[in-house]
Amino acid sequence: MVAMSGGVDSSVAAALLCDAGHEVVGVTLRLWGGESDSGCCAVSDVDDARRVADALGIEHHVFNLGDDFNRDVVDPYVADHALGRTPNPCIECNRHIKFTRLRYRASALGFATIATGHHARIVERIDGTRRIARAVDASKDQSYVLHMLDQEQLAGLLLPIGHLTKEDVRERAAAMGLRTADKPDSQDVCFITRERGRDDFLRRRIPLTPGRVVDGTGAELGSVEAVEMVTVGQRKGIATAGGGAPRYAVDVDVASATVTVGSAADLLVDETPVLATTWAAGPVPVGTAIAVQTSAHGATEAAIFDGDAVRWIRPHRRVAPGQAVVFYEGDELIGGATAA
């Protein structure tokens, strides 16, 4: 069962599996029933996926998992913002929908494996365990958003395009005459429209609270329109009196409607508390040296795993609560957590 989003990556993933002799069925997930203009959950994407499946000569089905998506992705996204956290809905969609709900549906229908068009690889180690590894195309690597996958999930997963660059993927799609060959990549959260934006989406679901901006001493410097919209590390949209050096949000307290700002140096911390840690193949011992990535395409930084925190070898920029903190050993992903 190939998860076909209607994009070029999953189209080529399905084509490669067909060429390799697998019995392939394409499935597109209908997740968001509201407005969408991101090129991820639109009706046109279902049509693109269906037409690619027709061109490949494979069956295509649409699974409506909208209730699951609302419960496990959209509602927590809204709730996190109400608490002043910064969620990553794409990771939660992978965790709950693509690699849990879809996997269970595939198993119930008798499929041995599922496949996706993620730019990442699966490697098997000498001890027989599997890990996600970075894609060949570093600029498109998506291993970060797959950090929650365990051994059972990895054993039933194929990532057919992880060894290809994006250019290779598009060239193969064009050579096969697939309609998605030149389709732009989806970049945005599928349920947040570019026209209306995050502010409008949240405002229609939760009260947004005007907040005050203070410095580290508590002196009031200005205001924000909605404290729930502020992310740790943010600079834009924070009105402060006077000029001087740039100020960044270093803390967001929704309960008191207060954003504390400071200098770039004030953002640096020696450790990042984490929770909800998951592992690819069992936890590493406390005190293990690891490489840690804190954004989808950021560089890794050296750290020590300390159980309920990551201790940085050099001071590191504060990670917004709710963001993924992902652990690597070289190019291989060993686990991940959420910044507390």
Identify the domain containing residue 57 by its residue range.
2-117+160-175
Q: Let me know whether 94 and 217 are in one domain.
A: no
Q: Let me know whether 237 and 274 are in one domain.
A: no
Q: Let me know whether 168 and 88 are in one domain.
A: yes
> Residue with structure tokens 């989003």?
5
What is the spatial distance between Cα 252 and Cα 232, in angstroms, rounded to a whole number? 7
Q: Let me know whether 316 and 225 are in one domain.
A: no
This prediction's pTM = 0.92
Query: Does residue 71 belong to any structural domain of this protein?
Result: yes
Residue of 217, 216, 273, 226 lying closest to 248 (CA atoms):
216
Query: Does residue 128 belong to any structural domain of this protein?
Result: no
Give the per-residue pLDDT at 193: 83
Give the per-residue pLDDT at 324: 97
Q: Let me know whether 25 and 93 are in one domain.
A: yes
Give the per-residue pLDDT at 39: 53
Residue of 321, 326, 328 lying closest to 85 (CA atoms):
321
Q: How far is CA 111 from CA 20, 58, 67, 210, 274, in A?
A: 17, 15, 23, 51, 36
Query: Does residue 94 belong to any structural domain of this protein?
Result: yes
Q: Let me know whether 76 and 112 are in one domain.
A: yes
Domain count, the chain: 3
Query: Does residue 107 belong to any structural domain of this protein?
Result: yes
The tokens of 159 are what?
A: 């990532």
265, with CB counted inside 10 A (0-12, 13-18, 19+), is exposed
Give the per-residue pLDDT at 189: 84
Q: Let me know whether 258 and 275 are in one domain.
A: no
Please list the residues that pair with 325 across neighbouring strands: 337
Query: Does residue 59 belong to any structural domain of this protein?
Result: yes
CATH code for the domain in which residue 315 is found:
2.40.30.10
CB 184 within 8 A of CB 39: yes
Give the per-residue pLDDT at 56: 97
Give the per-residue pLDDT at 243: 62
> Residue with structure tokens 């590390």?
233
CB 118 within 8 A of CB 165: no
Q: Let me know whether 95 and 216 are in one domain.
A: no
Query: Does residue 257 belong to any structural domain of this protein?
Result: yes
The tokens of 52 are what?
A: 């690619």
Q: Let me know whether 30 and 48 are in one domain.
A: yes
CATH code for the domain in which residue 237 is found:
2.30.30.280
Instruction: Kindly name the residue from 40, 41, 90, 190 that is annotated as catalytic.
Output: 190
Query: Does residue 240 belong to any structural domain of this protein?
Result: yes
CB 292 within 8 A of CB 337: no
Phi, psi of 76, deg, nearest 5: -65, -35
Rounding to the nearest 10 degrees, give the CA dihedral for residues 6, 165, 17, 29: -20
Residue of 102, 96, 105 lying closest to 3 (CA atoms):
102
Altogether, the residues listed in the chain come to a count of 340
Give the per-residue pLDDT at 185: 84
> Residue with structure tokens 């200098």?
263
Give the per-residue pLDDT at 184: 86
Phi, psi of 259, deg, nearest 5: -115, 125
Residue 41 is a catalytic residue: no
The tokens of 49 are what?
A: 């996926």
What is the spatial distance between Cα 123 and Cα 332, in angstroms, rounded to a whole number? 8
pLDDT one digit per residue (tens) for the chain, 340 residues: 999 999 999 999 999 999 999 999 999 999 987 766 555 566 788 999 999 999 999 999 999 999 999 999 999 999 999 999 999 999 999 999 999 999 999 999 999 999 999 999 999 999 999 999 999 999 999 999 999 999 999 999 999 999 999 999 999 999 999 999 999 887 678 888 888 889 999 999 999 999 999 999 999 999 999 999 999 999 887 767 656 778 999 999 999 999 999 999 999 999 999 999 999 999 999 999 999 999 998 899 999 999 999 999 999 999 999 999 999 999 999 999 999 9
3-state secondary structure of 12: helix
CATH code for the domain in which residue 53 is found:
3.40.50.620
What is the spatial distance between Cα 73 and Cα 64, in angstroms, rounded to a whole number? 15
State the amino acid at position 176 in one-letter form: M
Q: Let me know whether 111 and 164 are in one domain.
A: yes
Q: Let me know whether 237 and 333 are in one domain.
A: no
Residues 6+ apart with CB under 8 A from 207: none
Give the per-residue pLDDT at 187: 67
Residue of 5, 29, 38 lying closest to 189 (CA atoms):
38
Instruction: Kindly name the residue from 40, 41, 90, 93 that is annotated as catalytic.
Output: 93
Give the per-residue pLDDT at 255: 95
Residue 18 is a catalytic residue: no
Phi, psi of 324, deg, nearest 5: -80, 140
Q: Let me know whether 223 and 244 are in one domain.
A: yes
What is the spatial distance between Cα 62 and Cα 212, in angstroms, rounded to a whole number? 47
Query: Does residue 13 belong to any structural domain of this protein?
Result: yes
What is the spatial distance between Cα 142 and Cα 91, in angstroms, rounded to a whole number? 10
